[in-house]
Amino acid sequence: MLDPQARALIDLMIERGVPPVQVLSPTDARSLYRDRRGFTQPEPPAVGAVTDLVAPGPRGPIPLRLVTPTGNDGPWPVLVYFHGGGWTIGDLDTHDVLCRQLCAASGCAVLSVDYRMGPEHRFPAAPEDCLAAVRWLRSEAASHGLDASRIALGGDSAGGNLAAVVAIEMRDAGDPPALLQLLIYPATDMRAIAPSHTSNAQGYLLTADSIAYYRGHYIADPAQWSDWRASPLLAPDLTRLPPALVLTCGFDPLRDEGRQYADALSAAGNRAQYICFERQIHGFITMTRVIDEAWAAVDLCAGALKRGLVGA
């Protein structure tokens, strides 16, 4: 059964004639995504401070937003967060409430990364920016009250994809490892061949049509779908990676590839927890104003951060 609140949201969007993303230009899709957050997201919780920053990247400056907790002066452990939006839409504002919720509930700082997106900046611009942001954080942590030895990587959807890719890149480069991967309904296989891409292809906000739209804006050459930096499930070596919490949704085209990635991490000898919110839709964790179960997902993520970083 689809969660009744998720069903009500889908029905309301149909009733109000909200256009599907694939009929919009990227510019219009970004505006719609940013504007509708006021309906699905609550007022942000109180945090210690919010600071906009900039990191240098291989293709130019990368905007960042640092959210720090109340109650002490650090140094804080920090979650580096990569927002969702199909590598095409989304920004620091669309996920600002979620980042503040995670900060307030976990006691960790959260650094949100506004990485380059398609179609203006195609693959591999996004993972290059994300890796550069993590490396900047390590070098500049002390000046911002952060603990460079206690870092987690996280993100939802496209951001979960990027967090997984960056974890592999850091291992391969010999960088100090993150302590946790927080992968929220991650995209892990650009080929879109898992069974849930058929069973959940239509009717649940993220559809086969919108996936094709996002993928087409992000990756110009279908031959790159099998590049592990686009499809971390296809990485030849998944050993020696940080512990992971992988969340998926029952009514999501990405459900099965998220589970497959959790299974692959476990099979490679990593610690991985997998939890599926069976009645939920893709994108629900940012919808705490209208979907009660989203709070359970936020609490799960915050708990993982406490165990993985605060107690480290």
Q: What is the CATH number of the domain that holds 121?
A: 3.40.50.1820
Catalytic residue among 91, 96, 189, 252: 252
Query: Is 252 marked active-site?
Result: yes
pTM (two decimals): 0.98
- For the chain, the average pLDDT equals 97
Q: State what percent of residues in the chain have pLDDT above 90.
A: 97
**Number of domain units in the chain:** 1
Q: For residue 74, what pLDDT band results from cuts at 50, 70 and 90?
A: confident
Question: Quick check: 73 pLDDT over 90?
Answer: no
pLDDT tens-digit series, residues 156-208 = 999 999 999 999 999 999 999 999 999 999 999 999 999 999 999 999 999 99
Domain of residue 213: give its range. Answer: 4-310
Query: Is 189 marked active-site?
Result: no
Query: Is 157 marked active-site?
Result: yes
pLDDT at residue 176, as a whole number: 97
pLDDT at residue 312, as a whole number: 60
Question: According to the 3-state scheme, what is the secondary structure of the chain?
Answer: CCCHHHHHHHHHHHHCCCCCHHHCCHHHHHHHHHHCHHHHCCCCCCCCEEEEEEECCCCCCEEEEEEECCCCCCCEEEEEEECCCCCCCCCCCCCHHHHHHHHHHHCCEEEEECCCCCCCCCCCHHHHHHHHHHHHHHHHHHHHCEEEEEEEEEEECHHHHHHHHHHHHHHHHCCCCCCEEEEECCCCCCCCCCCHHHHCCCCCCCCHHHHHHHHHHHCCCHHHHHCCCCCHHHCCCCCCCCCEEEEEEEECCCHHHHHHHHHHHHHCCCCEEEEEEEEEECCHHHCCCCCCHHHHHHHHHHHHHHHHHHCC
**Average pLDDT, stretch 247-255?**
98
pLDDT tens-digit series, residues 9-49 = 999 999 999 999 999 999 999 999 999 998 999 999 999 99
Question: Quick check: 286 pLDDT over 70?
Answer: yes
Catalytic residue among 157, 196, 210, 231: 157
